Chains A and B, each alone.
Chain A
Amino acid sequence: MAIRSRPAFFARSLFALALIVGAGGILPLTAAEASAARATANEVRLAGAGATFPESLYKRWVVEYQKAAPTVAVDYRGIGSGGGIRAITDKTVAFAGSDAPLTKKEIEAVGGEGVLVELPMVAGGVVPAYNVPGVDQPLNFTGEVLADIFMGKIAKWNDPKLAELNPGVKLPELAILPAYRSDGSGTTFVWTSYLATQSQTFKDQIGTGKQVKWPVGQGGQGNPNVAAIVSQTQGAIGYIEQNFATMNKIPYGAVKNAAGKFVKASPESVEAATSTAFEKPRDDGRLIANIWNGPGEGAYPIAAFTYIIVYKDLRNLGSEQEAKALTDYLRWSLTEGQRFASEMDYAPLDSGVREQVLGALDALTFKGQPLSKVATAPSPK
């Protein structure tokens, strides 16, 4: 074997390091060149990321908007609401999607109130989906009973409290298996926030949040896995998004609303829940509202807005052209785009709410100057 001298070894290591560093230097260069090449095609790219709940609608919007404005390429990745808020705080995306409004800490992290703006886009309902053999008609629930079920206090389908809500339905003597989202999700946030308004014990022991500690049941990742547990297990009950339940033909129940009526979730009943959201303006002017347990005879009680979050002053986007492209896209989403919402079983915004959101959109600026409505925007219907 050859004996190697130490200096030679060090020299070689240095050379190797130089190669690595050199390669590292070249890569970003090529990336910059590539984006420059794209920009010359007079194309604006808008990146968004965040909540998974509206992802399928936002992706549909991307496709449809491409037809209306071929020079603007929008992109949305469903990485979770928290990830979206981190991304907009770090300015790595043009807009973020979130199922929950910004928290106090998140507002402080970005430099105080009024730096970011929340714009409600559509609303959605969360439904109790179940698998009870021999029951054909939709079951009736109240928030209190659902809270008891998810705390393990109501453990059988023929429990008197359930029987009382469902006269004439033959409920089997079958154990209830609650199924929940084990990953962090806006769905859990809406579900627990609603149940906490209906049961003090639930509020004290389980609390609210994107992820909570459940005392009973089984967990699954995402809507598909919760739906799988429900459809595969007799006696299971799980909470999933209404459009997911409808798309996959999973039976779900009606829930008693604040007016005392049992309402099944649908784009119409969720839209009814949004109508009174901003009747009383907030002191800080933010367009955020908890619409669970809202008033109205036809309002579905377990509903929530999903928001797009942008900077109030869009100087983070680099050019006025990009800022205009973003506001045009959002304006289109709130007008033309709403049509696709009900098609895909999301609830479109109530017309009064929509006017208010469009007003907030018009108030966005670029380097302090208001953005003019440009001609590429399709006229509102």
Chain B
Amino acid sequence: MPTPPTTPQPGAATAARAGAGGRSRPWGDVVLGSLSTGAAITIVLLLAMIVLIVVVSAWPSIKAYGLPFLTESTWRPNELEETLRDPQGRIVYDDDGEPKTVIEPASFGAAPFIWGTAVSSALALIVAVPLSIGAALFIVRVAPRLRIAEPLGFLIEFLAAIPSIAYGIWGIFVLRPFLEKHLEPALRWLLGDLPFMRWMFFRTLADGTEVPIPLTGRDMLAGGLILAVMIIPIITAVSRDVLRTVPRAQVEGVLALGGTWWQSCAAMLRYGRAGLFGAVMLGLARAAGETMAVTMVIGNVNQISLSPLAPAQTMSSLLAMDAGDPNNPLHFSSLFYIALILLVMSLVFNVIARWLVVGSKARTFGS
């Protein structure tokens, strides 16, 4: 049993604390200090272990493919047992009369998934950035006058807290049928006959014939749109905070110099541009890592297609699909390689975003 370190004499305790000069501190302080230090160390250790395990597990694939893994577009988890044919196309038989075969090993490359993540995130940003920054500007400049800034801000933060699977369900039952029945046929009606837009609606087969891409609502466009909906709250919330840090003097200065209200808004955006860019990067980081909602609508085809109406696959979605039952050790390892790419990518996005957002705040409050 530990004995209480301080006697119940208030005078003595004070004297001890003052006299020791921080050398012997109250017992409670030591425990709390140790616990919080321990918690911090645990988190750092946990992160280090995760990175270590990802790298170690990815190692066989890194060794087998190296950096070309990033640009290789074939993802075939099964090995092919191809029948050997002579130059005339006849099957070659061995001495026992069995057809000779060549084993083509499984082959892995991350290009379709890097492409899928990049394009779906880009689509999401194209839709989400104007909406989010517009909304943030509204909250900072217009809503206070209408006395709705608070409830609006609350709503946006609420949107950011909705679990992604809820967006996925909405995507499958509302967004997908809407795309399939209305938006995509409308797009085809509008643009389908233009010769320079054929790439969007047709795909070319190996023998050169063009076939229309089926409009199913499970495609890159659906993935991009659902990501847009998911990142609007975070970009709006951060942009709002960034715009709020713009000094009043900046805005009022423009107005005092005879600028219009519109020009004062432009000045505000220009002043906060680094922070706004950071907000966009945070949105991008979320879009790149988002999994379930995208998996449910993107079509899950490991291919690179220019058309946003063709099904695709993102890195995180592929991990969700393949992690359950990998075909072979190299498949397993290649999945970790992709996890590593994803990890590095989100790290880069987050570091840039933090640097920009914190930098913009420091510029306002620092000096």
Contacts and interface: CB of A to CB of B under 8 A. Distances in A.
Interface of A: 2, 12-13, 15-17, 19-20, 79-83, 152, 155, 175, 177, 182-185, 192, 200, 203-214, 217-221, 228-229, 232-233, 235
B321 A218 contact: no
B326 A184 contact: yes
B79 A219 contact: no
B231 to A, nearest CB: 24
Would you list the 4 A-B pairs with minimal beta carbon distance, nearest first? A209-B78, A80-B325, A16-B38, A219-B300
A17 B41 CA distance: 8
B76 A16 contact: no
A155 B211 contact: yes
A175 B327 CA distance: 32
20 contacts: A2-B22, A15-B38, A17-B41, A19-B34, A80-B324, A152-B205, A183-B324, A184-B325, A192-B78, A200-B83, A203-B83, A212-B76, A212-B78, A213-B77, A219-B302, A219-B311, A219-B321, A220-B300, A233-B216, A235-B214
A219 B331 CA distance: 18
Given A210-B77, A232-B176, 14 more contacts: A19-B34, A20-B38, A82-B326, A83-B324, A83-B325, A184-B77, A184-B327, A203-B82, A206-B80, A208-B78, A212-B77, A221-B300, A229-B216, A229-B218
A211 B322 contact: yes
Contacts of A206: 80
B185 interface: no
B248 to A, nearest CB: 33
B335 to A, nearest CB: 11
B33 interface: yes
A12 B300 contact: no
B142 to A, nearest CB: 42
A82 B321 CA distance: 14
B278 to A, nearest CB: 29
B81 interface: yes
B295 interface: yes
B301 A219 contact: yes
Contacts of A2: 22
A265 B41 CA distance: 59
B75 interface: yes
A218 B300 contact: yes
Nearest to A103: B328
A233 B299 CA distance: 12
A211 to B, nearest CB: 4
A184 B321 CA distance: 8
Interface of B: 22, 30, 33-35, 37-38, 41-42, 74-83, 172, 176-177, 205, 211-212, 214, 216, 218, 295, 299-302, 311, 313, 320-322, 324-327, 331
A204 B82 contact: yes
Contact of A15 (B34, B177, B321, B324): B34
Contacts of B216: 177, 218, 229, 233
A275 B38 CA distance: 64
Contacts of B300: 182, 218-221
Contacts of B34: 12, 15-16, 19
Among B22, B176, B214, max chain A CB count under 10 A is at: B214
A208 B33 CA distance: 59
A234 B224 CA distance: 24
B325 A185 contact: yes
B81 A19 contact: no
Given A12-B34, A233-B214, A211 B41 contact: no
A195 to B, nearest CB: 13
Contact of A207 (B75, B81, B299): B81
B81 A183 contact: no
Contact of A182 (B176, B211, B321): B321
B322 A183 contact: yes
Contacts of A83: 324-325
Q: Which interface residue of A19, A192, A207, A211 has the most chain B CB atoms within 10 A?
A: A211
Which of B34, B78, B82 has the most A CB atoms < 10 Å from its CB? Answer: B78
Contacts of A217: 301
A35 B302 CA distance: 45
B72 to A, nearest CB: 13
B321 A183 contact: yes
A15 to B, nearest CB: 5
B78 A210 contact: yes
B316 to A, nearest CB: 13
B214 A16 contact: no
A177 B78 CA distance: 23
A238 to B, nearest CB: 13
Contacts of A218: 216, 218, 299-301, 311
Contacts of B301: 182, 214, 217-219
A211 B311 contact: no
B340 to A, nearest CB: 21
B215 to A, nearest CB: 10
B219 to A, nearest CB: 9
Contacts of B322: 183-184, 211
Contact of B327 (A210, A221, A229): A210
Contacts of A232: 176-177
B280 to A, nearest CB: 31
A201 B105 CA distance: 18
